[in-house]
């Protein structure tokens, strides 16, 4: 980690934002309007979402499972899970990862039939996902396939709201470790995943990893500051990855 001028680590926003907390309502980008930017991030209502899919390309592949775990003030307050008929065959390579077969989803509803339930579960909460671009991309792609309709617009589906992504923080806080896969990060934190690569279990492990990270004194404590620092770290990490190719 880089040290700042005062030797306090690489999280400058954690040091500077408390002095201007009253300005965060105006200047903090990426925050959900339901929550004040100066609210402690540990007080947020979180909806941690995970998807299992037919492949890795959101515009071409489809969701076969959605899991959402709700969290607030250190406690899991709800769990939701949907198996979804992707309206196509699940390739064997995908089955080998998550174990969901074509027979498992043959009689399940299609995404359009459970869309409103999923959006309702996400309502009034800050969205969270491990490697958030992946899950966000799949959810938005599924919504784009549906005909125009009046639907709930929870923070998770608003363009200007950032998802909390524990992977960004894992890359920083566990940067000396080779693997940043959810299972490896969770194991290092003493968190067990009941059934890896199943949506609800992965979502629960993700929110538990995030809760562990919240306990690190180097992280900004205010929601707005937390999201600004996540943005900064994500940009820095993206630049670093360019040099790996």
Mean pLDDT, the chain, rounded, equals: 90
Least confident of 5-14, 58-67, 131-140, 196-205: 5-14
Residue 7 included in any domain: no
Total residue length of the chain: 245
pTM score: 0.88
Phi-psi region of 233 (alpha: psi -120 to 50; beta: other; left: phi over 0): alpha
Residue from 16, 80, 98, 197 carrying the catalytic annotation: 197
* Range of the structural domain that residue 137 is part of: 13-242
The pLDDT score that the predictor gives to residue 27 is: 53
Say if residue 134's pLDDT is above 90: yes
The continuous run of DSSP H or E covering 128 comes out as strand 126-128
CATH label of the domain that carries residue 150: 3.30.420.10
Residue 47 included in any domain: yes
Residue 6 included in any domain: no
Mean pLDDT score, 171-189: 97
* Catalytic annotation present for 197: yes
Determine contact, residues 197/98, Cβ cutoff 8 Å: yes
């Amino acid at each position: 980690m880089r040290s700042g001028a005062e030797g306090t680590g690489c999280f400058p926003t954690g040091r500077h934002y408390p002095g201007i907390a009253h300005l965060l309502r105006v200047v903090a980008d990426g925050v959900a309007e339901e929550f004040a930017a100066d609210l402690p991030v540990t007080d947020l209502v979180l909806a941690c979402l995970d998807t299992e899919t037919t492949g890795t390309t959101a515009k071409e592949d489809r969701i076969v499972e959605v899991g959402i775990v709700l969290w607030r003030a250190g406690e899991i307050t709800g769990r939701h899970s949907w198996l979804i008929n992707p309206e196509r065959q699940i390739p064997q390579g995908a089955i080998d990862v998550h174990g969901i077969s074509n027979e498992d989803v043959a009689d399940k509803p299609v995404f359009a039939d459970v869309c409103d339930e999923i959006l309702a579960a996400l309502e009034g909460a800050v969205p969270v996902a491990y490697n958030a671009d992946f899950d966000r991309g799949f959810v938005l792609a599924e919504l784009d396939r549906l005909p125009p309709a009046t639907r709930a617009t929870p923070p998770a589906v608003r363009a200007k709201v950032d998802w909390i992504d524990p992977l960004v923080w894992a890359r920083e806080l566990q940067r000396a470790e080779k693997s940043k896969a959810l299972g490896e990060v969770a194991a290092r934190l003493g968190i067990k995943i009941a059934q890896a690569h199943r949506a609800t279990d992965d979502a629960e492990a993700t929110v538990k990893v995030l809760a562990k990270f919240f306990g690190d004194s180097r992280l900004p404590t205010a929601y707005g500051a937390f999201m600004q620092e996540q943005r900064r770290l994500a940009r820095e990490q993206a630049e670093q990855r360019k040099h790996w190719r």
